[in-house]
């Protein structure tokens, strides 16, 4: 399989290394410094694009691939206010677009555990929910895309919550889930869900030890997406 990497930072480099060990070829490694090289690529020789760039570049990168018939697997966070544009573009070109805030299989299991716990806690009074995430200092968006996905899972299942807010910012309502975002090196990613009461505290945590799991998950999805159409997610990939 020929893979185009859009966003050749730390994640892009790990994706490239793992992809090659799995027998794939890298068609191009594009970042902000060599974006003009896209003009010399032959789209017919690219099977899939894996996009882990920056929030300000994501829509342009994805659109470039989508308009050329290249399936896209994206993991960039911080741009989802424009996701509907990509969904429309995907439909227009009968393309394939896969987005996940986190490609780690362990994190996606954690998403499901989070929702299950939220359903249980919805039946019990006296507990206050909160969320904390810790990432490396190079991560630009806060809260993380993974934290937002976790928050949305809680809000869907806890009746007295209807929004989330970043600690230090004014909540939209009194029924808002607080999220604390910390940036500490070299943490690749920790997410903590807490339910606290006067009596006790219930806590679940996912801690990533490296970026390897994220990168491998993205490559597994890239292998899977060939021949599929539409806007897809980890629920489709994992058949949850």
209 is catalytic: no
For 115-161, strand residue ranges (E) read 128-135
CA dihedral 142, 153, 80, 24 (to 10 degrees): 90
Relative orientation angle of helices 145-157 and 105-121, to the nearest 10 degrees: 30
CB-count exposure of residue 200 (10 Å: 0-12, 13-18, 19+):
exposed
Nearest to 215 by CA among 10, 1, 6: 10
Per DSSP, the residues of 152-172 read HHHHHH-TT--EEEETTS--S
Contact 191, 146 (CB under 8 A): yes
Taking the chain, what is the end-to-end CA distance rounded to the nearest angstrom? 27
Nearest to 219 by CA among 13, 33, 18: 18
Per DSSP, the residues of 189-201 read -EEEEEEE-SS-E
Residue 170 CA: distances (Å) to CA of 84, 131, 151, 166: 27, 16, 17, 8
135 is catalytic: yes
Contact 193, 150 (CB under 8 A): yes
Question: Of 45, 92, 136, 139, which residue is the catalytic one?
Answer: 139
Question: Of 10, 93, 119, 135, which residue is the catalytic one?
Answer: 135
Residues with catalytic annotation? 135, 139
């Amino acid at each position: 399989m020929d893979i185009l990497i859009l966003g050749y930072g730390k994640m892009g480099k790990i994706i490239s290394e793992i992809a090659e060990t799995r027998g794939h070829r890298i068609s191009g490694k594009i970042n902000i410094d060599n974006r003009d090289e896209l003009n010399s690529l032959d789209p017919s020789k690219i099977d899939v694009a894996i996009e882990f760039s920056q929030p300000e570049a994501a829509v342009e990168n994805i659109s470039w691939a989508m308009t050329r018939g290249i399936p896209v697997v994206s993991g960039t966070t911080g741009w989802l206010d424009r996701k509907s544009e990509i969904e429309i573009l995907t439909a227009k070109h009968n393309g394939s677009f896969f987005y996940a805030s986190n490609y780690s299989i362990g994190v996606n299991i954690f998403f499901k555990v989070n929702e299950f716990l939220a359903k249980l806690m919805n039946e019990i009074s006296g507990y206050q929910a909160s969320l904390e995430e810790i990432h490396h200092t190079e991560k630009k968006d806060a809260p993380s895309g993974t934290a937002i996905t976790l928050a949305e899972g809680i809000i869907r299942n806890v009746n007295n919550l209807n929004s989330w807010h970043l600690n230090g910012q004014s909540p939209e309502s009194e029924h808002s889930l607080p999220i604390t975002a910390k940036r500490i090196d070299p943490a690749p990613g920790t997410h903590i869900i807490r339910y606290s009461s006067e009596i006790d505290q219930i806590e679940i945590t996912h801690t990533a030890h490296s970026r390897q799991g994220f990168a491998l998950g993205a490559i597994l999805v890239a292998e899977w997406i060939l021949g599929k159409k539409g806007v897809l997610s980890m629920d489709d990939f994992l058949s949850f």
